[in-house]
A and B are shown apart, each in its own frame.
Chain A
Amino acid sequence: MSDTDPVLKALQDDLDEGFAEMYAAHRATVFSVALRLGGSWADAEDHTAETFLRAYRALTGYDRERLAALQPRAWLLTILMNIWRNWVRSRVRNPPPDLRDEPVDGVCRRADVEAAAELRETGDELAGLLGRLPEEQRAAVVLRHVVDLPVAEIATVLKIPQGTVKSHVSRGLRRLRTLGGAR
C-alpha cells in the first residue's frame, strides 16, 4: 500500500482511467463485502455502485498529495461501511414490507431470482448464519475471512483498535461455529 500501488499511479496520471483500474482491482472485494454484510444481491449492487460513485466524486477534489497518501482498498471499504450502516439504520426505521430477515423466497424479480440462485451456490447457509452475528462481529469476520484483509487494514476500515478487531473476529467465528453446530 505504498506509492508502488499501480492504482494510485493510474489515478495520478488520469482520474478516469485510474478510476477504471481502481474499479477493476477492488470491485470483487467491495461487492463481496457488500453482499456478505447482508441484504439482497440487488442491495449489494446498489451499495457497490454507490461506493464507487462517491469515491470518484471525492477523488475529483483530491490534490496529488492526498492521492499519494490514499490506501484505495481500505478507503473504498470505509465508504462502503458508511453506506451500509446508513442503509441498516434507515431499514430499521422503516422496514421493507416483506423481506425482513432471512433469505428471500417467492420474490419474482429476475435479479432476486438470480441472486437467490447465486447465494445457494455460494454457501446460502453460512451466509445466513453471518446475518445472525452482531453487526461489528459480522463486519470483522467478513473483512478478515471472506475478503482476506489484514487485521491492521480492518482496524482502519472499522476505526477500532487492532485488538478489538481480533476479538470481534474470534468471537464471531466462535458464534458461527455454535450456530452451525446447532443446525
Chain B
Amino acid sequence: MTHDPRLPGQSEAACGTGLLAALAALAVDAPEGLIDRVAARWVTVQGPLGELRAAFTDHGVAYLRPEPPVPPDEAADPGVAAGAFEAGGGTVGGFAEEFRRLVGRPLLRGARPPAGLAPALRTGRTSGVPLDLRACGAFEREVLLAVRSVPRGEIRPYAWVAARTGRPAAAARAVAAVLARNPVPLLVPCHRVTGAGGVLGTHVLGPLAQERLLRAEGVDLERVRELAGRRVYYLASDTTGIVCLPTCHNARRITPSHRRGFRSVAQARAAGYRPCRSCHPTPA
C-alpha cells in the first residue's frame, strides 16, 4: 500500500527480533486493586433499623439505602412513602440504577463492608466513617458536612444548618431538599435535623424511621414539641448566662428553677444571654 521498504510486517526480520522482543517485554499488567479507583463495591450491612445496602469507593461510603426499601405502608404520608420507595429502589437493579445516576461509577459486589462501617451503624457513632461525596454539588456537600457535626441525641432545625453553611434562614428549604435525598443517611445523621419545634420532615428512610432513630438516641421529641407549643425554641440558664437549643447537652443539664425559655436568640441576647458555643443557636 505504501512504498516504504521498511514496512513493519515485511521488515521485522531485517530489523532483528531483539528490539521487538524488548518492546514486547515492556507490556505490564495493571496493578492489583486499580479497579477500585474506578468502580464502587456494594455490600449489605446491618443498620439500627434493619438491613442496609451500602456502596463505597476507595474514598469512602457514597450511597446507603435500606434493604428492602421502605415499604409504602410504613410511612405516615403515603405520598412520601411511595417516593422513598422508588428512591430506595426495590432490587439490586434499582439500587444500582440510582447509584449510577447519582455517582456514575460501575458498581460491583464487594466482599465485606469497609472497616468501621458496621460498628458505626450499630452504635450510631458514625462521624469517623469516611464518605465519598465527590458526586455531590458544593452546597449539597456543605449541608451534609454541617449535619455531620450534630451530636447523637440532639436535634437541629433546618435553618440552623442553613446558618452553619453561611446562608440566610431562607435557605432552610434548600437544606430540607438536600437532606430529603441524603445519599448517606445515618452516616450523615439527617434524622437529627427537623423543622422548628421538632416537626419531622421528609426523611430518606421515611418519617417513622426518623422518629424511631431519634427516640433510640434519647431525644425527647414530646418535650421539644411541648416547648414549641408555648413558643419556646431556646432554653437558657440564668446561672451561666448561656442560651442553647433545647436538646443541647448543656440545655438538658439546666435545673428547672434556673431554666428560662426564649422565642428567639435575639430576645435571649437582649436579656443578656450569650449563645452556647457547642450547639450554636442561631437567630431564627
Q: Which residues of A are interface residues toward B (Cβ below 8 A)?
A: 15-17, 19-20, 23, 27-32, 35-36, 45, 48-49, 52-53, 56-57, 60, 118, 122-123, 126-127, 130, 141-142, 144-148, 151, 162-163, 166-167, 169-170, 173-174, 176-177, 180
Among B23-31, B45-53, B78-86, B227-235, the stretch that binds chain A is B23-31
Inside 8 A of B110's CB, which chain A residues have their CB? none
| Partner pick for A176 among B6, B19, B27, B35, CB 8 A cutoff | B19
A39 to chain B, nearest CB (A): 14
B234 to chain A, nearest CB (A): 48
In chain B, residues 1-45, which have Cβ atoms closer than 8 Å to a Cβ of chain A? 1-2, 4, 6-9, 11, 15, 19-20, 22-31, 34-35, 37-39
Inside 8 A of A57's CB, which chain B residues have their CB? 104
In chain B, residues 211-227, which have Cβ atoms closer than 8 Å to a Cβ of chain A? none
25 contacts across the A-B interface (CB closer than 8 A) = A16-B106, A16-B107, A19-B39, A20-B35, A23-B38, A28-B29, A28-B30, A31-B28, A32-B27, A45-B34, A48-B34, A52-B38, A56-B38, A60-B104, A145-B20, A145-B24, A146-B23, A151-B9, A163-B2, A170-B4, A170-B8, A173-B6, A173-B8, A174-B6, A176-B19
Once bound together, how far apart are the Cα atoms of A170 and B106, in whole Å?
Answer: 39
Q: Closest B residue to A151 by CB, please name it.
A: B8
A119 to chain B, nearest CB (A): 9
Asked whether A28 and B28 contact (CB < 8 A) given A19-B39, A145-B23, A170-B6, the answer is: yes
| Partner pick for B39 among A20, A48, A141, CB 8 A cutoff | A20
Asked if B30 contacts A123 (CB within 8 A), the reply is no
Once bound together, how far apart are the Cα atoms of A48 and B25, in whole Å?
Answer: 19
B76 to chain A, nearest CB (A): 35
| Partner pick for A31 among B29, B100, B107, CB 8 A cutoff | B29
Given contacts A31-B30, A170-B11, 17 further A-B pairs with CB under 8 A are A16-B108, A17-B108, A23-B35, A27-B34, A27-B35, A29-B27, A31-B29, A32-B26, A45-B34, A48-B34, A52-B35, A145-B24, A146-B26, A166-B2, A166-B7, A173-B8, A176-B19
Asked if A167 contacts B28 (CB within 8 A), the reply is no
Asked if A144 contacts B106 (CB within 8 A), the reply is no
**B121 at the A interface (CB under 8 A):** no
**B105 at the A interface (CB under 8 A):** yes
Inside 8 A of A127's CB, which chain B residues have their CB? 26
Q: Closest B residue to A174 by CB, please name it.
A: B6
Inside 8 A of B15's CB, which chain A residues have their CB? 173, 177
Interface of A is mostly: helix
**B118 at the A interface (CB under 8 A):** no
| Partner pick for A118 among B1, B8, B28, B35, CB 8 A cutoff | B28
Once bound together, how far apart are the Cα atoms of A86 and B125, in whole Å?
Answer: 44
Inside 8 A of A176's CB, which chain B residues have their CB? 19
Q: How many residues of B contact A (CB 8 A)?
A: 33
Asked whether A123 and B19 contact (CB < 8 A) given A19-B106, A166-B8, the answer is: no
Once bound together, how far apart are the Cα atoms of A17 and B105, in whole Å?
Answer: 12
Asked whether A166 and B4 contact (CB < 8 A) given A28-B29, A57-B104, the answer is: yes
Q: Closest B residue to A165 by CB, please name it.
A: B8
Q: Closest A residue to B22 by CB, please name it.
A: A126
Q: Closest B residue to A46 by CB, please name it.
A: B37
| Partner pick for B37 among A28, A45, A123, A151, CB 8 A cutoff | A45
Asked if A49 contacts B22 (CB within 8 A), the reply is no
| Partner pick for B25 among A56, A123, A173, CB 8 A cutoff | A123
Asked if B27 contacts A28 (CB within 8 A), the reply is yes
Asked if A53 contacts B8 (CB within 8 A), the reply is no
Inside 8 A of A163's CB, which chain B residues have their CB? 1-2, 4
**B96 at the A interface (CB under 8 A):** yes
Once bound together, how far apart are the Cα atoms of A21 and B38, in whole Å?
Answer: 14
Inside 8 A of A169's CB, which chain B residues have their CB? 8
Asked if A31 contacts B26 (CB within 8 A), the reply is no
Asked if A173 contacts B19 (CB within 8 A), the reply is yes
| Partner pick for B104 among A27, A56, A142, A177, CB 8 A cutoff | A56
Inside 8 A of A130's CB, which chain B residues have their CB? 26
Inside 8 A of A23's CB, which chain B residues have their CB? 35, 38-39
Asked whether A45 and B6 contact (CB < 8 A) given A52-B38, A180-B19, the answer is: no
Inside 8 A of B39's CB, which chain A residues have their CB? 16, 19-20, 23, 56
Asked if A20 contacts B4 (CB within 8 A), the reply is no
